[in-house]
Structure 1
């Protein structure tokens, strides 16, 4: 592995100070503690960075990248660093300088007529939400479970929310990118100087690069166009709880036709009982023993808390008359199950709470307190076909591995249009070295078992980029070689996020060899 020369690092940091000001450059210990993984499954200092720089404009980003290329100092871009469970702000390796874009936090445009926003990397979901609400803008954003992360960063990592616009990556329309040589480009229609449709038509002319720049290290995104949803007249929510774990396949099969034909446009999530219990109280409130919580204890906790083994809701957005018709269709699809929907409605003009519009919250982070102590978690995120049989096989396989390793299974299946995102979390106490060691062994085993069964992960923790990249092994890793070819062409100095998603620049590959 390439080691960063201390003298060259100091030279780079000094030159960065001339670009952004000394107060926005951090060295060694300050940077290492400031950008370490807050929920690290290993020693967080082992992959903490060597320095950091925080620009406030695209011109400063360009200047920093040019200096880094000249000196061979690797940069690791981050927007807000709240990607917990996947590494947070921490880089893949320690010999880098963080390129912290949090000061680039301007909402550059919100177009009400066309329904889009243009944001910089430091804009959080809470920022965009407050901007829309405070200015009475009749547009809704989508957001993940907790809302302090970056709108741009989440979309480029293919994060998911729970409105009809919940597949965030699919709503990106136009990126501004600083390349590995410090050049500035715009994707799609933005490549036409003076284009009127940069945030309207997502493809442009020739190859389409928005998707290729997601989960990549091919450039630094400094602006992003994102489509927003017009505020609906009405939303109607149908919530259901399953008393038995084995009801999961029935629910999946009932939902799939409704997603395929567009009756349900949002992304319902089947969450298991522990996902529900963990945000209510720590594990010790339900069970004080060792190992996974026994089935009979879980059943008692379920009955006492009034929740299901699986809990989900289907929210319909749009005109009230249409929602009413579609709600009856949903009820018919689930009529063969021995449960009733709990129905609630929201009408435009009422307070947004309960509407389905994602209001700022950190409530989902309560899961990290499940075991007590300073908590942490690893998020395992394989994708499965949208069938009950596949969901059941994936659930039973992964749950068995969790329990064999001594962990409670915390998970759920979020419904895309033709796939399921199976999001599960290995929760641990960061003061317990033995538990963290088991968590890492389990995570590595999960990757291998899932890949052997044809279940690829769509996203992962910083530490596991290489293992998952290797699991995408068709034709002896042809896709990895393609990615490396592109990387070498667009980042000839090999300085942008080396190793991200398992994509290493040539100079690192040669050093490893």
Structure 2
């Protein structure tokens, strides 16, 4: 690697900026050597990742250090790229959108500051991982449950701020944030909601406070740096029940999604439901070569072999029910009545009750097993996630799935699909698995991703979350009134952050500003 200087600075000015950062955090916590910077390169990068290389890393341990760093960054016009733990895998990890940013690594700020058992919330810093929070709750024998994403390596706050999801009743992680502390781009310190009152007793009980609610300003934005947040936790239910549904035909997606979406809307099913295809299931427990080694996309015959050997369907869904025992049992019977006649078999639910051993799928115990899917093709594996938001309409989704599957097959790439069913929407997670060591595949993946963005937009579907290499093209699909939303975001950015210090270009905001 060669040294990198932020594009707005010369080497002498940058050296003075690093000296200023060292005066704040100490020399051991400003990292600018090649080996240090290499550790922050996206491990799934398409290519060597150096187009998103940072110039240095600074790691504060307190909110006061964050404020001082931001003030120094303004003085020297150094762009900062804040990360909570830098584990946003599949979206660029810790790497900045703009090459040469200084990464502001908040991983040292990793304290669980409070857990309120009665009110079912906690107050944490951005460096607290899902494993950290789970261990903290487990050590105190808490009756509070947390929600985790499929790959739970990252930050609880960081995942929520990027609108990540889990698979429990508290799985819309951004909705569980109540009360944020943030450092603004000029170094000022803000608390949102009821926290705007000094000594507030209700900061994590009510989101909105008095006047405008600014919490959403810090989600998927570059308007500030979140240094604390309240997170709502789930009180332990009396009972859970789980079932894995396997739908044998590709065409079953239409009717199955309609039923599942209706149950989700009515809160019979209280969590985001993943409705996935055979490659999704097989990629976690095997590699592609075990099923097919020929050219082109994996054929349907190989998928049928997966179905037979793994005991799955063309589409598969895991359902968990939560609540009082009588409610759970009634919902079990309701679901049996809806699915058993169509599937032609009895559904056997697995029940869990309080004081039984923890159930991983229902309770939200952190895991990284899903990361095994990146080994699908072999080599140095990686994945990109393209997940446009769609209406929860089964016929529409089946038609779209046919088109996307056909395009994957046309370009010769394996179709990995899941449809995550939310309360009123569906995210089509078209995961793109690849081998970084295969240049032809890397080029194909880039073209495939760009095609999926355009194809989805042509149907009126837009991505809800973006990889650092594609943030601008995703932002451009939000084009009502010639991009009015993007203009508003840029106006707010210019007002709050006139020096464009905080994460320039994140989600297409402040791109290419001097």
Pick the TM interval, shorter chain: over 0.9
- CA spacing shift, 1:339–1:465, aligned 2, 3 Å: farther
Separation in 2 of the partners of 1:12 and 1:397?
51
Instruction: Pick one of 220, 226, 237 that aligns with 1:215.
Output: 220
Normalising by structure 1, what TM-score?
Answer: 0.97
Runs of 4+ in structure 1 over 3 Å off:
1-4
Separation in 1 of the partners of 2:344 and 2:253?
13
Q: Which residue is 1:171 aligned to?
A: 176
CA contact (8 A) 1:241 1:339 kept: no
CA contact (8 A) 2:261 2:422 kept: no
Separation in 2 of the partners of 1:3 and 1:375?
34
Separation in 2 of the partners of 1:209 and 1:41?
36
1:300 Cα offset (Å): 2.0
Contiguous gaps of at least 5 residues in structure 1: none
Instruction: Pick one of 468, 489, 499 that aligns with 2:495.
Output: 489
Instruction: Write the mapping of 1:206-245 to structure 2, written as runs, cut at 5 A.
Output: 206-245=211-250
Separation in 2 of the partners of 1:440 and 1:215?
23
1:339 Cα offset (Å): 4.3
CA contact (8 A) 2:385 2:429 kept: yes
CA contact (8 A) 1:86 1:379 kept: yes
Q: Which residue is 1:81 aligned to?
A: 86
1:354 Cα offset (Å): 4.4
Instruction: Write the mapping of 1:182-331 to structure 2, written as runs, cut at 5 A.
Output: 182-331=187-336
Contiguous gaps of at least 5 residues in structure 2: 1-5
Instruction: Pick one of 471, 475, 485 that aligns with 1:469.
Output: 475
Instruction: Pick one of 420, 434, 445 that aligns with 1:428.
Output: 434
Separation in 2 of the partners of 1:365 and 1:9?
37
1:2 Cα offset (Å): 4.2
| C-alpha RMSD of matched pairs (Å) | 1.3
Instruction: Pick one of 94, 104, 111 that aligns with 1:99.
Output: 104
Separation in 2 of the partners of 1:165 and 1:390?
28
Does residue 54 (structure 1) correspond to residue 59 (structure 2)? The answer is yes
Q: Which residue is 2:366 aligned to?
A: 360
CA contact (8 A) 2:107 2:127 kept: yes
Partner SS, residue 279 of structure 1: helix
Separation in 2 of the partners of 1:264 and 1:427?
30
Partner SS, residue 83 of structure 1: coil
Separation in 1 of the partners of 2:381 and 2:261?
35
- The number of residues matched between the two structures is 508
Q: Which residue is 2:355 aligned to?
A: 349
CA contact (8 A) 2:242 2:351 kept: yes
Q: Which residue is 1:119 aligned to?
A: 124
Does residue 397 (structure 1) correspond to residue 403 (structure 2)? The answer is yes
Larger CA deviation: 348-357 vs 419-428: 348-357
1:301 Cα offset (Å): 2.5
